[in-house]
Amino acid sequence: MNVIDLLLKLLSFKSLTPDDAGSLQFIEEYLDGYEALYVNKEGVKNLFLSKKFGEGTHLCFAGHVDVVPAGENWDTNPFVPVIKEGNIYARGTQDMKSGVAAFVQTCKEITDFDGTLSILLTSDEEGDAKYGTVIMLEHLKEKGMLPDFCIVAEPTCETKFGDAIKIGRRGSINGYLTIKGKQGHAAYPEKAINPVHQIAPILNKIAGINLDNGDDDFAPSQMVITDIRGGMEVTNVTPSSLKIMFNVRNSTKTTQEEIKLHIDKCFDGLDYTLELTQGSYPFVTTRDSKVVERLTQSIENVTGIETKLSTAGGTSDARFMGAYGIDVVEFGVINDTIHAPNERTSVIEVEKLYEVFTHLVQNFK
């Protein structure tokens, strides 16, 4: 079986979150020389496969086998992969069974490595991710088995295969503001406290402002207003309160506390409440890390492209690796049809991804 045959097999599993649909058992049996460890919880399956070749570095490949629902408007059955004009169509081709197939095939064929090779797979990345990779990492830490370096094979490339590696990700902070006023008649504004009028001169101090200046790795952390609402949808009653929701995709330079201080300063003298929640935390792997340098070299060797190092985009399970101090990067096929109808990737991209991973493992010294 080659990497394309393996991908076609993985795509045939209807592994909707959190159901792995038997794909993890198939991968376990396919890598019969690797030691298997399962940590399952609340219907989520997590598989860790490892093989010790020597006493050196522990390099881990990580990813997920679960996919989002197919939705409508597909030209073909989303769970029966079709190859057409050099492209493979099915749910999960880009996100991220192409990456899984590439590193599983690499680990299948490698016969020598100066250390330990491992694979961490979950069936709960597209969902809440409460019982997925993070649970397995907790278990590996308890057993003293955390990897030194990790590559998450999410789709990272932008327009050409090999053009981007993710070396970090921004965090995500949600804010919920309530400005309290006093309801009244629109004809007697002096008898009311209108929170809309109160917020008007302040809005430009929070909407779209940068909370830091960014750096070589991250763009500035910007406060993005996502919702404003208040009142009773009538023209003659002023609202008793106004609610504002916002999101900050934060770099390592901005924290919840700094956001709170900014809001406190802007809303000084007003009656308001603020709630902040954080779904993910920012992380970055240094540019001179061994895994960054070796992966960059392997991409150039296979594609001839000098890849850029990026932190753009949303979140991935790499954030859990970063929280454990593991040097982690992300690299995979082009990301342009994930979660969309007729999701597809090209045969040549998958073959080149496999070549990159193979070259990386062979030269990870």
Q: How confident is the model at residue 128 (pLDDT cuts 50, 70, 90)?
A: confident
The strand pair at 82-84 and 149-152 is best described as unpaired
Active-site annotation holder among 20, 125, 317, 355: 125
pLDDT of residue 46: 98
**190 catalytic residue (yes or no):** no
pLDDT digits (tens, 9 = 90+) for 300-319: 999 999 999 999 887 889 99
pLDDT at 180 over 90: yes
Q: Quick check: 179 and 244 in contact, CB under 8 A?
A: yes
Please state, for a pLDDT cut of 90, what percent of the chain lies above it. Answer: 96
Q: Would residue 125 show up in a list of annotated catalytic residues for this protein?
A: yes
Distant-in-sequence, close-in-space partners of 134: CB < 8 Å, separation ≥ 6: 317, 320
pLDDT of residue 312: 86
Can you give the pTM of this predicted structure? 0.87
Compute the mean pLDDT over every residue in the chain, rounded to the nearest whole number. 96
- Statement: residue 279 has pLDDT above 90: no
Check whether 338 has a pLDDT greater than 90: yes
Per-residue pLDDT, averaged over 2-18, amounts to 98
Instruction: Considering the candidates 19, 20, 66, 349, report the single residue annotated as catalytic.
Output: 66
